Amino acid sequence: MAPTIDIVDGIRILFYNGEHWPPHFHAIYNEYEVIIDIQKTTVIAGQMPKKALKKVYISLAENKGWAVDIFFELNPELR
């Protein structure tokens, strides 16, 4: 399991090394998990309640550059 990089209103934001394209992160809220494409700000896989997902999108909008940097720091071969 990857370390939690951030927590947004109880939603854990996780980045993994050894990942694949496109740049993305995992968001976990209770029993829900989604994979979010950082550049397109869309769900690649999974489900999450709309209210929680909206919080993830708001956080990503405010921190998109940071999220891209973390993804490529853990996955430099994809840069």
- 13-61 pLDDT per residue, tens: 999 999 999 999 999 999 999 999 999 999 999 999 999 999 999 999 9
Range of the structural domain that residue 63 is part of: 4-78
Q: Is the pTM of this model over 0.85?
A: yes
For residues 30 and 77, the answer to whether their CB atoms sit within 8 Å is: no
Decide if pLDDT at 66 tops 70: yes
Q: What span, in angstroms and rounded, lies between the C-alpha atoms of 23 and 72?
A: 8
Report the distance separating Cα 77 and Cα 74, nearest Å: 9
The domain total for the chain is: 1
